[in-house]
Chain A
């Protein structure tokens, strides 16, 4: 068997070549992907003059940490953070409650026509938001809910197709025996749902909470059309307002400082809870 070792050696050579190439591609790509974030942070630590240098200043020295207090001084970012946090946490509560109830019903309780209703509900994921926005706006305006947080929060208490889908997929993986055992012990549907099923789908609940948070925190269109008082702005809408004022003066360092602050919650959540996001994406294949 003379040719075998040489063939294997050639394979190994090819293999390490492939490895080396892969690493190079991955590293180059990583730099490309992370550099915008680096640039955002480094700009936020420059002086106003330094931001306008050409060629650009690659590393801000000395870093102007004072930009952040200066921003908070001139611009009530903390207020906007509180507003966004209030809306996001309300939406999380609403979505978790309504979607888990519905998901349990759709996956575990039998009723004629149930799956048909579920498919109809799911088909709303394919609806372009455009066909819903205007009548929704008219309805909320008639209810005198514009310029309040209600149009942004209340709908979440009536389920979201995406979350129901995700949770239903998860409920489906839980063995029926567990539920039957609870039922034999005399637990009603509500107790089975709350005490047996919910604890078992905790990862999915966390994923739903995270998606709701990120979605609400980043939402721009909703706050843009519903909120008009500046004190009620969310972080996203406030950033746009800040951009308007930065156009007149070269304040890119402050604008970047504000946008760094705006992405920090999502960044932190992602770094600590990455696996829940990934699990959720794999299960549904749907962008949240």
Chain B
């Protein structure tokens, strides 16, 4: 977040005139009162659960009996559980394919839409629309589209003489199908990319044109560097979301066939709410959290290598 928003620094900086301390104190008290509900929510629904789940991950707990201390047993169990590794593999594959596709497809679409063409607002609406629909209804729709015998996808493939596979029922295609389906909502990023594209100074493009550069040179030397902070930010957030995929796996495939779509969250959900292994599920959650933390740190540490910040240009 800090990459993107200078406004985070606070709008209030320069107005620090000398004021009587009584007003100061009244303002501070008012501030406490205004933010109190949110701070309570932060403590009650984030900080306390976060600590509690760390504690629970070291216990054997099934809601009925008091948690029993087991030390690191849950973590050991997971690391030697082939299904846990399968869930890791599935989620990793999903993130590694779906996230780059989201970013590349949505950016390419934004570049096409960022032209001065007639009818562009209509196209923007069309591409943005599916992004606001999500959840169960969309999963139902795609189950039907991907239906082996009567689905639209195989119907369309049949028109050009290809016999489509059993998308959700074949373990080679099931995860792939869910990845393709996820691309339906790339429109979400359009406003973000388009906003950023409008902010690229046109003299930079002119400079490339004068040097004889074409479309590719403009993209490579102007657009991508200028957007790189935003790309970094979207990359991190998307990887986090990708690790959360649940609804599609539960409804469309139930994790099958042969665990081919057993996502991390689905396995966690089953451990917690089907098998009442709340301690084990908490350990799963913390392993995921640890992974996300490490990944975020790596991405941000490596960012000076490939992210270009406007302020550096000014300083140079």
Contacts and interface: CB of A to CB of B under 8 A. Distances in A.
Interface of A: 18-19, 22-23, 25-26, 29-30, 33-37, 39-40, 43, 51-56, 98-99, 101-102, 104-112, 114-115, 117, 119-122, 124-139, 141, 155, 157-161, 164, 169, 171-172, 176, 189, 193, 214, 218-221, 225, 235-237, 239-240, 243, 252, 255-256, 258-259, 262-263, 266-267, 269-271, 274, 277-278, 281-282, 285-287
Contacts of A131: 49-50, 53, 282, 285-286, 288-289
A281 B191 contact: yes
B240 A128 contact: yes
- Pairs of residues from A and B, 3 with the lowest C-beta to C-beta distance, nearest first: A158-B41, A105-B34, A159-B38
A53 B123 contact: no
B149 A52 contact: yes
Contact of B184 (A33, A128, A172, A267): A33
B38 A132 contact: no
B135 A287 contact: no
A132 B12 contact: no
A199 B281 CA distance: 45
Dominant secondary structure of chain B at its interface with chain A: helix
Contacts of A99: 38
B247 A221 contact: yes
B35 interface: yes
Contacts of A111: 27-28, 31-32
Interface string B1-37: 1001101101110010000000010011011111101
Interface of B: 1, 4-5, 7-8, 10-12, 15, 24, 27-28, 30-35, 37-42, 44-46, 48-50, 52-53, 56, 63, 109, 112-113, 115, 117, 123, 125-130, 132-138, 140-145, 147, 149-152, 155, 158-159, 184, 187-188, 191-192, 195, 230, 233-234, 236-237, 240-241, 243-244, 246-247, 251, 264-265, 268-269, 272-273, 278, 281-282, 284-286, 288-289, 292, 296
Contacts of B144: 39-40, 43, 252, 255-256
Contacts of B15: 176
A281 B192 contact: yes
Contact of A256 (B136, B140, B273): B140
13 contacts: A29-B127, A37-B130, A37-B141, A43-B144, A108-B12, A128-B288, A136-B45, A141-B63, A158-B38, A176-B15, A236-B137, A271-B129, A281-B188
A171 B10 CA distance: 11
B244 A130 contact: yes
Contacts of A134: 49, 53, 56, 272, 278, 281-282, 285
B123 A30 contact: yes
Dominant secondary structure of chain A at its interface with chain B: helix
B142 to A, nearest CB: 7
Contact of B27 (A101, A109, A256): A109
B150 to A, nearest CB: 5
A105 B1 CA distance: 20
Contact of A105 (B35, B109, B145, B251): B35
Contacts of A105: 30-35
Given A53-B150, A111-B31, A135 B49 contact: yes
Given A19-B117, A130-B244, 20 more contacts: A30-B127, A35-B152, A36-B141, A55-B155, A98-B38, A105-B31, A108-B12, A109-B27, A111-B31, A114-B35, A135-B50, A135-B56, A136-B45, A137-B272, A138-B63, A158-B44, A176-B12, A189-B34, A236-B136, A285-B4
